[in-house]
Structure 1
Amino acid sequence: MTLYSIFIIIFAYFLGSISSAILICKILHFPDPRDFGSKNPGATNIFRIAGRKIAISVIVFDILKGVIPIWLGYYSKIPPVFLGATAIFTCLGHMYPIFFRFHGGKGVATAFGALTTINFDLAIVMISTWIITVLSTGYSSVGAIVTALIIPCYAWYFQSQYFILTIIISSLVIIRHSSNIQRLWHHQEKHIWRN
């Protein structure tokens, strides 16, 4: 079981390292998201580059990167500590992909996918918090940061054994948003619907 659990963790990292944003832009001949706009290969930047439909496809793919390894681990009954490590490593793969010189996205959709599989109630409050924050402020980054800050509180209420896991994942998401935080502080962050 231990060897299988380690295999799932490694699989999670490599799956997370597949950047749908970069691959879709290359296939459809859009600019490389690492060289355009925020230079982040994530759904928000893809929305600015290629529009809503392509951005949605990126979100779906990134969510599945979080869902698939957790689903495999969960239904294979690997221990909770390894399941938590799987969630962390799939996010690390997305953020620091080995296939793209460790230049990845910010992990929001992938983290959402991983945590959704662990607890559906947690997923509902996460997406609700993100939507309400984005609609209130107009900033995708603010939605991600606010949601990341309060996810551990939700986890403590819904499934406390994953409290530490959510703290780690939330910290990774916030660290990856450090440049957004600086732009917000200097009033330079772009609204989600503006180019």
Structure 2
Amino acid sequence: MLIPILKHYLLWCGAAFLAGSIPFGLVLVKLAGKGDVRTQGSGNIGATNVMRAGGKGLGIATLVLDALKGFLPVFIAKQAGYSAEFLAFVALASVVGHVFTPWLRFKGGKGVATALGAVLGYHAPMVLPALGTFLVLVAIFRYVSLGSVAAAVVLLLTAMGFLGTWARLPVHEGMAQWPILAWTLLVGLVIRKHAENLNRLLHGQEHRLWGAK
């Protein structure tokens, strides 16, 4: 009985991984005739670098599409009646797909927009503290990387219930460790992908969202 259930779960996570692996930023920039986004700016395929390479329109489109590929797998699984514990792993799978896309030799983006979409599909109120943190820090310091890392930390605190139960889905008694594990891995992955940005921040070399370093 356990093996068929495990296979079923793996299929859901595999589908979420494939959805997350679609490199929308790369595709949009190439379709717009702007070249390969991986050879421009930071080399990242995410919305921020797409905006640098192709303009605000392409950047916004990439942000929306990257968020959707995290949102839809989690939302569909939620509508199908799956538990909060399993939904967290579907969310993780979509972000892993974006960060390690097999279509680009497992070199993808940093997972922020896809994580945002996944959280919205999981439980929309859960995104509010993290999103607020991101917007405030970016407005003040103009560093997207700083806002992203801080927002990821706040997201984990929210998932663990430190900001109240209103911001997270209820879990079955004795099962809380599983969604916390999934969200910890997701947040850790996003922060790890920002290691170079954090190093540049420490040395005053990080690019601001607009203006000089």
Normalized against structure 2, the TM-score is what?
0.86
CA apart distance, 1:42: 0.6
CA apart distance, 1:7: 1.5
Larger radius of gyration: 2
Larger mean CA deviation between 21-30 and 164-173 belongs to 164-173
Map 1:40-189 to 2 at 5 A: 40-155=44-159, 156=161, 157=164, 158-159=167-168, 161=176, 162-189=179-206
Choose between structure 1 and 2: higher helix proportion: 1
CA apart distance, 1:78: 2.5
The one-letter code matched in structure 2 to 1:126 is: A
Aligned residue pair count: 195
* Correspondent of 2:36 among 32, 38, 41: 32
Q: Secondary structure at the match of 2:43?
A: coil
Residue 173 of structure 2 corresponds to which residue in structure 1?
Answer: none
Percent identity reads 30
The one-letter code matched in structure 1 to 2:87 is: L
Please provide the CA RMSD for this pair. 1.6
Q: Distance in 2 between matches of 1:125 and 1:185?
A: 25
The one-letter code matched in structure 1 to 2:29 is: C
> Which residues of structure 2 form unaligned runs of 5+?
171-175
The CA deviation string for residues 95-115 of structure 1, in whole angstroms up to 9 with x for no partner, is 010111111100001001111
The one-letter code matched in structure 2 to 1:101 is: R
> Which residues of structure 1 form unaligned runs of 5+?
none
Residue 14 of structure 1 corresponds to which residue in structure 2?
Answer: 18
Runs of 4+ in structure 1 displaced over 4 angstroms?
none
